[in-house]
Structure 1
Amino acid sequence: MNFIFDYVHNINRIADSNPGIIRLSMDAKAVIKVGPFSRGGYNRYGLRACDHDFQPDTLLKLFGIFIPATDEPFFYFTESHITADFIVDALEQLWPTLKEKYDPHTLVLNLDNGPENSSRRSQFMNRLVTFSQKNSVSISLAYYPPYHSKYNPVERVWGRLEQHWNGELLDKVEKILGLARTMTWKGWRPVVTFVEKTYKKGVSLTKQAMQIIENQIFRIKGIEQWAVDIPFYSD
């Protein structure tokens, strides 16, 4: 596992020192239960709240993309599922901003190898290969090894968000979005997007289709699951 961590540390260092490479730290936050809930049963205004979660009004999921080199956070909320398609759609939405501000030839993605963004997740790899060719950009996946996801920079942003809304009643989706927009991280306020699209779990490729994807990517020998390059092929 030390070899994996050393690889991630090295590729992160290269990315952060090269203006042609942008590193993105990506991860989902724990599910947010929307309702009149508060730790201990009270909020910062002294109003009585439920001290048990019971049945929430809805479940809100939050996916973040963070640029460590510039400390810019981008939040994507949904009441649907954070799937492989959701993740790459968020990246697609952010791409025009990245292209205009940085014009990178390579993206380095820091991830935690969860079930929806694993390098073995056929739909995730399929979407990333398509993204690479469509947007003329190479992609390097640099996964943190097990029990090391806390080193993924976006995790620090989640900690700041928890501090920001600690003591608030997260009882309305609109209130949660508003609180997220007023958080600050090193002078930046997050760009907050509420995604209304419904995402279906379980989308996958056949083994034959996945083999075509495998032929277009490079897995780093010895850490094949944790380090993957997706080169952009120009005509």
Structure 2
Amino acid sequence: FARAGHTLTQTSIETLDHDFPSAGLGKLIPHGIYDVARNEGAIHLNTSHDTSELCCDSIALWWQRQGRHCYFNSLRLLVLCDGGGSNASNRHVFKEALQALAERLGLEIRIAHYPPYCSKHNPIEHRLFPHITRACQGVVFHTLDIAKQFMAKAKTTTGLNVTVDILTGVYETGKKCASDFIENSRIVFDDFLPRWNYRALPQDR
């Protein structure tokens, strides 16, 4: 489909001007992680569905590829995220996936959700995503590899570095948490604004 912007090409490019899903070859779901301390971004692409499992698999991939090497003595991980979508603050299925992620990585994972209408204050919204958008202006995503190639080109004068990987899993929508999850969960809510601030603890904590 047509994308805003200009690109240099030696041949004409024909695209559809309306992005009707029925006319597409598929869909591309990008999940982004921005490391504030190191000014590094990680984009993980999938062609399935945007789910809580995808969100947690994205965090796990970042930790395995980058995080654990940069923060090898860390026992805790702080994640800033919006309050809606696949990581919604009111969804038990997200907390269940988060609990499984804490067990998988052996880390205490603290979640800090941004309240409604406050997503613009999330660093990823102005330190990573605009530069990804600019790097892809005018580019038609015919394949997953094209998207990966151009997203990885995102740079800034302050030294932003972006890596792009592909998550090949198939993620199903409509899943519900286990019937005994709430009773047995190891999610600890903060005293202050517990709806948006909580921790997932691994078994050994």
Q: Structure 2 vs 1, CA of residues 98 and 184 (structure 1 numbering), >3 Å: closer, same or farther?
A: same
Deviations 1:78-127 (A, max 9, x none): 11012111111122222233222212111111010223212432232122
For 1:101, the aligned partner's letter is C
CA distance in 2, matches of 1:133, 1:197: 20
**Which residue is equivalent to 2:24?**
56
Percentage of pairs with the same residue? 21
**DSSP 3-state at the match of 1:39:** coil
Is 1:168 paired with 2:136?
no
Contact kept, 8 Å, 1:219 with 1:225, in 2: the verdict is yes
Contact kept, 8 Å, 1:129 with 1:230, in 2: the verdict is yes
Is 1:88 paired with 2:56?
yes
For 2:59, the aligned partner's letter is L
Range moving further from structure 2, 201-210 or 189-198: 201-210
**Which residue is equivalent to 2:99?**
129
Q: Structure 2 vs 1, CA of residues 190 and 204 (structure 1 numbering), >3 Å: closer, same or farther?
A: same
Root-mean-square deviation over aligned CA pairs: 2.3
**DSSP 3-state at the match of 1:116:** helix
Q: Structure 2 vs 1, CA of residues 230 and 44 (structure 1 numbering), >3 Å: closer, same or farther?
A: same
Contact kept, 8 Å, 1:165 with 1:179, in 2: the verdict is yes
CA distance in 2, matches of 1:107, 1:39: 37
**Which residue is equivalent to 1:5?**
none
CA distance in 2, matches of 1:139, 1:170: 34
CA distance in 2, matches of 1:177, 1:83: 20
Contact kept, 8 Å, 1:44 with 1:168, in 2: the verdict is no
For 2:167, the aligned partner's letter is V
**Which residue is equivalent to 1:200?**
172
TM-score calculated relative to the size of structure 2: 0.84
- Residue correspondences, number: 197
CA distance in 2, matches of 1:109, 1:209: 22
Q: Structure 2 vs 1, CA of residues 160 and 206 (structure 1 numbering), >3 Å: closer, same or farther?
A: same
